[in-house]
Amino acid sequence: MRILEDILNILAPNECIVCQEEGTTICEQCSEQAIFPVPSRCYRCKKLTNDFAVCKKCKNSSKLSNVWVRSEYSNVSKQLIYKMKFDSNRQTAHDIARLDIEVLPYFPKDVIVCPIPTATMRVRQRGYDHTMEIAKEISKITGLHKANLLVRVGKSRQVGARKEARINQLKDSFIVTKDVKNRKVILVDDVVTTGGTLESAASELKRFGASRVYAVVFAQK
Protein backbone atom coordinates (compact mmCIF):
# COMPACT_ATOMS: atom_id res chain seq x y z
CA MET A 1 0.00 0.00 0.00
CA ARG A 2 2.77 2.46 0.93
CA ILE A 3 4.74 1.66 -2.25
CA LEU A 4 1.63 2.31 -4.34
CA GLU A 5 1.16 5.66 -2.57
CA ASP A 6 4.76 6.64 -3.33
CA ILE A 7 4.27 5.82 -7.01
CA LEU A 8 1.05 7.83 -7.14
CA ASN A 9 2.79 10.79 -5.50
CA ILE A 10 5.36 10.77 -8.30
CA LEU A 11 2.79 10.42 -11.08
CA ALA A 12 0.24 12.75 -9.51
CA PRO A 13 1.87 14.95 -6.84
CA ASN A 14 -0.18 16.37 -4.01
CA GLU A 15 -1.59 19.83 -4.59
CA CYS A 16 -2.68 22.55 -2.19
CA ILE A 17 -6.47 22.32 -2.00
CA VAL A 18 -6.70 26.13 -2.20
CA CYS A 19 -4.12 27.33 -4.75
CA GLN A 20 -3.13 24.00 -6.39
CA GLU A 21 0.58 24.49 -5.73
CA GLU A 22 2.33 21.12 -5.95
CA GLY A 23 4.07 19.46 -3.05
CA THR A 24 1.59 19.52 -0.18
CA THR A 25 -2.15 19.39 0.47
CA ILE A 26 -2.15 22.84 2.08
CA CYS A 27 0.71 25.25 1.45
CA GLU A 28 2.05 27.54 4.16
CA GLN A 29 0.61 30.70 2.65
CA CYS A 30 -2.88 29.26 2.22
CA SER A 31 -2.88 27.75 5.70
CA GLU A 32 -2.16 31.21 7.12
CA GLN A 33 -4.87 32.83 5.01
CA ALA A 34 -7.58 30.17 5.08
CA ILE A 35 -7.23 28.18 8.32
CA PHE A 36 -7.85 30.66 11.08
CA PRO A 37 -6.67 29.90 14.63
CA VAL A 38 -9.28 29.74 17.35
CA PRO A 39 -8.87 31.76 20.56
CA SER A 40 -7.46 30.02 23.60
CA ARG A 41 -10.52 28.63 25.34
CA CYS A 42 -12.09 25.76 27.25
CA TYR A 43 -13.04 23.21 24.62
CA ARG A 44 -16.29 22.33 26.40
CA CYS A 45 -17.96 25.66 27.17
CA LYS A 46 -15.83 27.93 24.93
CA LYS A 47 -14.97 30.23 27.84
CA LEU A 48 -11.66 31.99 27.23
CA THR A 49 -8.81 30.44 29.24
CA ASN A 50 -5.03 30.50 29.25
CA ASP A 51 -3.34 27.96 26.98
CA PHE A 52 -6.59 26.14 26.09
CA ALA A 53 -7.04 24.96 29.67
CA VAL A 54 -10.30 23.29 30.65
CA CYS A 55 -12.06 25.90 32.82
CA LYS A 56 -12.66 25.39 36.55
CA LYS A 57 -16.37 24.72 36.11
CA CYS A 58 -15.92 22.13 33.35
CA LYS A 59 -12.94 20.62 35.15
CA ASN A 60 -15.35 19.11 37.68
CA SER A 61 -16.55 16.66 35.02
CA SER A 62 -13.43 16.40 32.84
CA LYS A 63 -10.26 14.33 33.07
CA LEU A 64 -8.42 16.58 30.62
CA SER A 65 -6.17 19.45 31.67
CA ASN A 66 -5.85 21.25 28.30
CA VAL A 67 -7.26 20.63 24.83
CA TRP A 68 -5.45 22.55 22.11
CA VAL A 69 -7.61 23.24 19.05
CA ARG A 70 -6.05 24.49 15.82
CA SER A 71 -9.17 25.56 13.88
CA GLU A 72 -12.93 25.51 13.53
CA TYR A 73 -14.46 22.68 11.51
CA SER A 74 -15.36 24.66 8.41
CA ASN A 75 -14.33 25.37 4.83
CA VAL A 76 -10.68 24.45 4.26
CA SER A 77 -10.30 22.54 7.53
CA LYS A 78 -13.28 20.40 6.61
CA GLN A 79 -11.85 19.74 3.14
CA LEU A 80 -8.52 18.64 4.59
CA ILE A 81 -10.16 16.20 6.98
CA TYR A 82 -12.31 14.79 4.18
CA LYS A 83 -9.23 14.33 1.98
CA MET A 84 -7.35 12.60 4.77
CA LYS A 85 -10.17 10.22 5.66
CA PHE A 86 -12.06 9.55 2.46
CA ASP A 87 -9.34 10.04 -0.15
CA SER A 88 -6.93 8.06 2.04
CA ASN A 89 -4.30 10.76 1.60
CA ARG A 90 -1.51 10.18 4.08
CA GLN A 91 0.23 13.46 3.25
CA THR A 92 -2.82 15.33 4.55
CA ALA A 93 -2.32 13.75 7.96
CA HIS A 94 1.28 14.99 7.97
CA ASP A 95 0.16 18.50 6.99
CA ILE A 96 -2.48 18.48 9.73
CA ALA A 97 0.20 17.47 12.25
CA ARG A 98 2.31 20.43 11.17
CA LEU A 99 -0.66 22.73 11.77
CA ASP A 100 -1.42 21.14 15.15
CA ILE A 101 2.10 21.86 16.36
CA GLU A 102 1.50 25.58 15.87
CA VAL A 103 -0.76 25.63 18.95
CA LEU A 104 1.19 23.21 21.16
CA PRO A 105 3.44 24.63 23.88
CA TYR A 106 6.88 23.22 24.67
CA PHE A 107 6.80 19.86 26.44
CA PRO A 108 9.62 18.00 28.22
CA LYS A 109 10.73 14.83 26.46
CA ASP A 110 9.10 12.49 28.99
CA VAL A 111 5.59 13.40 27.75
CA ILE A 112 3.95 10.70 25.60
CA VAL A 113 2.07 11.37 22.36
CA CYS A 114 -0.81 8.91 22.01
CA PRO A 115 -3.22 8.69 19.06
CA ILE A 116 -6.90 8.00 19.63
CA PRO A 117 -7.16 4.63 17.87
CA THR A 118 -9.41 4.46 14.83
CA ALA A 119 -11.97 1.66 14.52
CA THR A 120 -10.45 -1.37 12.78
CA MET A 121 -13.09 -1.33 10.04
CA ARG A 122 -12.19 2.27 9.17
CA VAL A 123 -8.48 1.46 9.05
CA ARG A 124 -9.17 -1.38 6.62
CA GLN A 125 -11.32 0.87 4.44
CA ARG A 126 -8.76 3.69 4.31
CA GLY A 127 -5.62 1.59 4.24
CA TYR A 128 -4.09 3.40 7.21
CA ASP A 129 -4.91 4.89 10.62
CA HIS A 130 -5.12 8.65 10.14
CA THR A 131 -4.73 9.59 13.82
CA MET A 132 -1.69 7.33 14.03
CA GLU A 133 -0.14 9.21 11.11
CA ILE A 134 -0.84 12.59 12.74
CA ALA A 135 0.68 11.40 16.03
CA LYS A 136 3.75 9.95 14.27
CA GLU A 137 4.41 13.23 12.52
CA ILE A 138 3.95 15.26 15.72
CA SER A 139 6.41 12.91 17.43
CA LYS A 140 8.88 13.22 14.56
CA ILE A 141 8.82 17.03 14.58
CA THR A 142 8.78 17.59 18.35
CA GLY A 143 10.99 14.71 19.44
CA LEU A 144 8.33 13.50 21.89
CA HIS A 145 7.87 9.75 22.23
CA LYS A 146 4.81 8.26 20.52
CA ALA A 147 3.18 5.21 22.06
CA ASN A 148 -0.02 3.34 21.28
CA LEU A 149 -1.39 3.20 24.80
CA LEU A 150 -5.02 2.51 23.95
CA VAL A 151 -7.10 -0.14 22.22
CA ARG A 152 -10.62 0.68 21.12
CA VAL A 153 -13.13 -1.89 22.37
CA GLY A 154 -16.46 -0.09 21.92
CA LYS A 155 -18.52 -0.67 18.78
CA SER A 156 -21.04 2.14 19.20
CA ARG A 157 -21.51 4.61 16.38
CA GLN A 158 -21.84 8.31 17.13
CA VAL A 159 -23.39 9.43 13.85
CA GLY A 160 -26.85 10.88 14.34
CA ALA A 161 -26.93 10.50 18.11
CA ARG A 162 -27.68 13.39 20.43
CA LYS A 163 -24.91 14.86 22.55
CA GLU A 164 -25.84 12.99 25.76
CA ALA A 165 -26.26 9.70 23.90
CA ARG A 166 -22.93 10.07 22.16
CA ILE A 167 -21.09 10.58 25.43
CA ASN A 168 -22.80 7.54 26.97
CA GLN A 169 -22.06 5.41 23.90
CA LEU A 170 -18.36 6.03 24.30
CA LYS A 171 -18.02 5.18 27.98
CA ASP A 172 -15.47 2.41 28.56
CA SER A 173 -14.68 2.30 24.84
CA PHE A 174 -10.92 2.03 25.44
CA ILE A 175 -8.53 -0.11 27.41
CA VAL A 176 -5.00 0.89 28.42
CA THR A 177 -2.33 -1.53 27.19
CA LYS A 178 0.87 -0.11 28.68
CA ASP A 179 2.13 1.27 31.97
CA VAL A 180 1.20 4.95 32.29
CA LYS A 181 1.63 5.42 36.02
CA ASN A 182 2.82 8.96 36.80
CA ARG A 183 3.17 9.74 33.08
CA LYS A 184 1.84 12.74 31.17
CA VAL A 185 0.01 11.96 27.93
CA ILE A 186 -1.08 14.06 24.94
CA LEU A 187 -4.00 12.49 23.10
CA VAL A 188 -4.17 13.16 19.36
CA ASP A 189 -7.38 13.26 17.30
CA ASP A 190 -8.56 15.01 14.17
CA VAL A 191 -11.91 16.45 15.26
CA VAL A 192 -13.66 17.06 18.56
CA THR A 193 -17.43 17.48 18.80
CA THR A 194 -18.86 16.56 22.21
CA GLY A 195 -15.53 15.47 23.66
CA GLY A 196 -16.91 12.03 24.52
CA THR A 197 -14.09 10.15 22.82
CA LEU A 198 -11.34 12.24 24.41
CA GLU A 199 -12.94 12.09 27.85
CA SER A 200 -13.37 8.31 27.66
CA ALA A 201 -9.72 7.84 26.73
CA ALA A 202 -8.53 10.33 29.35
CA SER A 203 -10.64 8.67 32.03
CA GLU A 204 -9.03 5.28 31.37
CA LEU A 205 -5.53 6.73 31.32
CA LYS A 206 -6.14 8.50 34.64
CA ARG A 207 -7.65 5.34 36.09
CA PHE A 208 -4.42 3.53 35.26
CA GLY A 209 -2.30 6.18 36.94
CA ALA A 210 -1.50 8.85 34.34
CA SER A 211 -0.65 12.03 36.23
CA ARG A 212 -2.04 14.39 33.59
CA VAL A 213 -3.81 14.00 30.26
CA TYR A 214 -3.92 16.62 27.51
CA ALA A 215 -5.24 16.54 23.96
CA VAL A 216 -4.60 18.26 20.65
CA VAL A 217 -7.14 18.26 17.83
CA PHE A 218 -7.09 19.85 14.43
CA ALA A 219 -10.68 21.09 14.33
CA GLN A 220 -13.69 21.57 16.56
CA LYS A 221 -17.27 21.28 15.38
What is the C-alpha separation between 100 and 205, in angstroms, rounded?
A: 22
The pLDDT value given to residue 68: 99
pTM for the complete prediction? 0.88
What's the gap between Cα 66 and its chain centre? 13
The pLDDT value given to residue 11: 45
The pLDDT value given to residue 165: 56
What is the CATH T-level fold of the domain 35-220, as seen in this structure? Rossmann fold (3.40.50)
Region 83-100: what's the mean pLDDT? 94
Coil/strand/helix, residue 4: helix
Asked if 211 and 64 count as a contact pair (C-beta separation under 8 A), the reply is no
Count of residues making up the chain: 221
Which pLDDT tens digit goes with each residue over 189-201?
A: 999 999 999 999 9
Which sequence spans correspond to the domains of the chain? Answer: 35-220
Which pLDDT tens digit goes with each residue over 25-79?
A: 999 999 999 999 999 999 999 999 999 999 999 999 999 999 999 999 999 999 9
Residue 8 has pLDDT above 70, yes or no: no
The pLDDT value given to residue 13: 80
Residue 141 has pLDDT above 80, yes or no: yes
